[in-house]
Chain A
């Protein structure tokens, strides 16, 4: 009895550790040495990129930041190093990641994701001569910190309006990955956009997981189930803000002959070809642009600091047109876009 319990415990904890190991994925050293082979490698800039959980290869948030870095590698020949967060790591692990970059001479250091909020605030104070950028957080105020934030609710408003214009059942859905204030911005904008077109529209809304369980961003099976439920409930278009779980939403749409809306990047281009046709449009959150612009400024010898907001007016967010499914409503969407830019329409950022 006692022995079997110990064996069970050993197997259990070993498998937990193994699962942790599998969860990482992503090739962390993918861009090593990229600087040597590219042309114009004269900047000598050493850039550290600290990813959120998932790292490069998550086909979503982190990859978007990686795309901006890759572009900078190509154009300026910078010397990059990347490091990804692990699920369930301590605050001090995040801080150490930034400090290790500083100690190894990397400057600037880009922290991808709001999880680094406290760590960047602390480490930026410890090393006033180093420079940092943080994506998705505007609370860190320091001369050596640049805050790159997005108006996700504005882009979501437009795809919400698109969904309301396209739906035939007056019933649309929203699948969020993890219920955080950030993802609630997507939801709030989407609902506002849909209701701006049709005040009587029904919007079904759900989240896959709750804090601190962040698996909702990487669980296609659960995304599929959630979307199936919505399609069964009468929706004919579902928008997802669920990172890697979005693939399941697309599958559900394809199998039930309905439509879906992608997120972050133009998913019509990146998704599996078998579900390409169901992706009506995607809400674009151009993290790659933000990262690239930041590195461009740094390459020009200037370290930006303070908040840079990527909203509709600077095309930091928007919607994609690949596939041509929203071409017929482009005029109406552009009208909403102009109204938001002009401040005539105010988009809520919380549901």
Chain B
């Protein structure tokens, strides 16, 4: 019974959150004097094939970012530094791939490994600081973001090639043989084509690997155990310092993948206009997806879908594109709140059940809610 109820509530919570977000966003639109009906009918239109491709591509990038954050979240580490990690990793990956020391896909593989290694090392700095000096990873990773920006800007200037008359700079282009070809969604004779990144396959594999490592290996168990109770982890013989460093590095390695779909599938070089801010979006997406590999994928698709609406909303409906960011923020908050509500409801139920079972003769109600079932409800 409880199991069924729990599953039902698990479905209900995100649904409730979406409805609440819908209502709140509508209220924002009304108070801003925007045409609510037009906005929703534009957003809820069936997207064209090329828009679907854009959504999948953007979701692929956001998914990797969400995974990177989730790895650390699972151990109760808050890696705000995914942003800096993916940028420095994408830069190194771009330089390695652009230099093309190896032929064809060997070059691609080398670049991917280098990018992951750099991401891991960069995040590892915060891990080591936390493990040895007790520096909060929140502070150190956010500081490392700034350092990453400056380091990349400096190195980019050294490594940059610039086309005559262009106002952008970038690394050397990746040779054609090392690019990851797109998967066409629809063939077009003229006009825009609809292609999704070949890297989407690798993103799916990363998701599967995340699920496997977290829930089917001893390492994943240690990681989650440490996240839920450090003292219990120590008692059961887990080396928490070592876990902290390894987890941060793992999170950084996944962060190293974030920029690569763009790099190998579209931009072919790292330059002035390379997409920034993906790491911060990843935090919201990991939260929304509740650190679950499928949940993160859905969250990434939802965010990518909303972002794709920003242009039509602006051009066709005449609504400020900031409404998209507002909707995203509202969804994150409503999801967190609705899950909290469901969790408390279940905890209370569980407590009253236990109380009844233990003291069948005692007519008194359940004791004050204590977070005993906390971990189970969230795992």
Binding site for B on A (CB under 8 A): 1-3, 5-10, 12-14, 16-18, 20-22, 24, 27-29, 32, 48, 81, 83-84, 86-93, 95-97, 99-101, 104, 106, 114-115, 117-118, 123, 126-127, 136-139, 149, 179-182, 209-213
Q: Which B56-86 residues have a C-beta within 8 angstroms of A?
A: 57-58, 61, 73, 76, 78, 80
Q: How far, in Å, is A106 (CB) from chain B's closest CB?
A: 8
Within 315-336 of B, Cβ neighbours of A (below 8 Å) are at: 315-316, 318-322, 325-326, 328-329, 332-333, 336
The residue on B at minimum CB distance from A116 is B273
Are B329 and A18 within 8 A (Cβ)? yes
User: In whole angstroms, how far apart are the Cα atoms of A28 and B317 in the complex?
Assistant: 11
Give the distance in Å from the alpha carbon of A20 to the alpha carbon of B325 in the complex: 7
Residues of B within 8 A of A20 (CB): 277, 322, 325
A117 partner residues in chain B, CB cutoff 8 A? 166-168, 273
Tell me the smallest distance from the CB of A150 to a CB of chain B, in Å: 10
B192 touches A16 (CB 8 A): no
**Complex contact A13–B280 (CB within 8 A):** yes
B149 at the interface (CB under 8 A from A): yes
Asked whether any CB of chain A lies closer than 8 Å to the CB of B284, the reply is yes
Q: Which of B150, B154, B307, B315 contacts A93 (CB 8 A)?
A: B307
| CB proximity of B328 to chain A, nearest CB, Å | 5
A28: which of B138, B312, B320 is its contact (CB, 8 Å)?
B320
Shortest distance between the CB of A287 and any CB in chain B (Å): 14
Q: How far is the CB of B88 from chain A (nearest CB, A)?
A: 12
Tell me the bound Cα distance from A21 to B25 in angstroms: 13
Chain A residues near B375 (CB-CB < 8 A): 2
Interface centre among B138, B152, B272 (most CB of A within 10 A): B272
Complex contacts, A138 vs chain B, CB 8 Å? 165-166
Known contacts A21-B329, A96-B308, A137-B167: A16-B283 contact under CB 8 Å = yes
Complex contact A92–B54 (CB within 8 A): yes
Interface residues of B: mostly helix, strand, loop or mixed? helix
Q: Verify B321–A28 contact, CB threshold 8 A.
A: yes
Partner of A91, one of B267, B278, B308, B314: B267
On whether A2 and B227 interact (CB within 8 A), knowing A17-B325, A181-B168, the answer reads yes
Interface of A is mostly: helix
Task: Let me know if B190 and A126 touch, CB within 8 A.
Answer: yes
Q: C-beta contact mask, B268-292 vs A, less than 8 Å → 1, else 0?
A: 0000111111101001101100000
Cβ contacts under 8 Å, A126 to chain B: 190-193
Interface-central residue, B167, B283, B286, B321, by most chain A CB under 10 Å: B167
B314 touches A88 (CB 8 A): no
Question: B332's contact among A10, A89, A99, by CB below 8 Å, is which?
Answer: A10
- Which 3 pairs from chain A and chain B are nearest by CB? A88-B277, A210-B153, A17-B329
Residues of A within 8 A of B228 (CB): 2
Tell me the smallest distance from the CB of A326 to a CB of chain B, in Å.
28
Complex Cα spacing A28 to B321, Å: 9
Nearest B-chain residue to A126, judged by Cβ: B192
A-B Cβ contacts below 8 A, count: 189
Whether A93 pairs with B310 at a CB distance below 8 angstroms is: yes
* B38 close to chain A: CB less than 8 A: no
- Chain B, residue nearest A127 (CB): B191
Residues of B within 8 Å of A17, CB to CB, are: 284, 325-326, 328-329, 332
Which residue of the partner chain, among A9, A96, A101, A211, contacts B156 with CB atoms under 8 Å?
A211
Bound form: Cα–Cα A36–B319 in Å: 19
* Nearest B-chain residue to A207, judged by Cβ: B153
Which positions in B face A, CB cutoff 8 Å?
A: 50-51, 54, 57-58, 61, 73, 76, 78, 80, 87, 138, 149-150, 152-154, 156-157, 162-169, 190-193, 227-228, 262, 266-267, 272-278, 280, 283-284, 286-287, 307-308, 310-312, 314-316, 318-322, 325-326, 328-329, 332-333, 336, 371, 374-375, 378
Cβ-defined contact, A6 with B273, below 8 A: no
B315 touches A5 (CB 8 A): no
Instruction: Say yes or no: B266 contacts A91, CB within 8 Å.
Output: yes
The listed residue (B87, B316, B322, B371) touching A212 by CB distance below 8 A is: B87
A114 to B271, CA, bound (A): 12
Please determine whether A90 and B275 come into contact, CB atoms closer than 8 angstroms.
Answer: yes
Establish whether residues B54 and A96, one from each chain, have CB atoms under 8 Å apart when the complex forms.
yes
Chain B residues in 8 Å Cβ range of A16? 280, 283-284
Q: Which chain A residues border B276 with CB–CB below 8 Å?
A: 87-88, 212-213
What's the Cα separation between A287 and B159 when bound, in Å?
31
- CB closest residue in chain A, given B51: A96
A90/B58 contact (C-beta < 8 A), A14-B333, A17-B328, A84-B314 known: yes
Task: Name B315's contact: one of A3, A27, A101, A210 (CB within 8 Å).
Answer: A101
Contact B322 A24 (CB under 8 A): yes
Least CB distance from A32 to B in Å reads: 6
- Which residues from chain A contact B378 at a C-beta distance below 8 Å? 2
Determine if A13 and B314 form an interchain contact, defined as CB atoms under 8 angstroms apart. Answer: no
Inter-chain contact B166/A81, CB cutoff 8 Å: no
- Beyond A17-B328, A96-B308, A212-B274, whether A181 also contacts B162 by CB under 8 A is yes
Q: Which of A87, A91, A123, A149 contacts B262 (CB 8 A)?
A: A91
How long is the Cα–Cα vector from A84 to B267 in the complex, in angstroms?
A: 22
B275 and A88 contacting across the interface, CB-CB below 8 Å: yes
> Are A5's CB and B262's CB within 8 A?
no
Since A22-B322, A29-B318 are in contact, a sample of 13 more A-B pairs with Cβ atoms closer than 8 Å, ordered by chain A residue number, is A1-B76, A2-B76, A3-B374, A6-B287, A9-B287, A13-B287, A17-B325, A18-B326, A88-B278, A114-B167, A114-B272, A211-B156, A213-B149
Q: 19 pairs across A/B with beta carbons < 8 Å?
A: A9-B73, A10-B336, A13-B329, A16-B283, A17-B332, A28-B314, A28-B321, A29-B319, A81-B315, A86-B310, A87-B276, A91-B262, A93-B307, A96-B311, A97-B311, A100-B315, A123-B192, A139-B163, A179-B153
Residues of B within 8 A of A127 (CB): 191
Task: Please state if B51 and A89 are interface contacts (CB–CB under 8 Å).
Answer: no
Task: Name the B residues within 8 Å of A114 (CB-CB).
Answer: 166-168, 272
Q: Which residues of B contact A81 (CB under 8 A)?
A: 315, 318
Q: Which chain B residue has the least Cβ–Cβ distance from A349? A: B165
Give the docked Cα–Cα distance between A204 and B109 (Å). Answer: 45
**Cα distance A37–B63 in the bound complex, in angstroms:** 48
Which A-chain residue is minimally distant from B282 (CB atoms)?
A13
Q: Given the complex, which residues of B lie within 8 Å of A139, measured CB to CB?
A: 163-166
Min CB gap A89→B, angstroms: 7
Contact B165 A13 (CB under 8 A): no
Contact B283 A181 (CB under 8 A): no
Give chain A residues whose Cβ lies under 8 Å from the Cβ of B272: 114-115, 180, 211-212
| Residue among A13, A27, A91 with max Cβ neighbours from chain B (10 Å) | A13
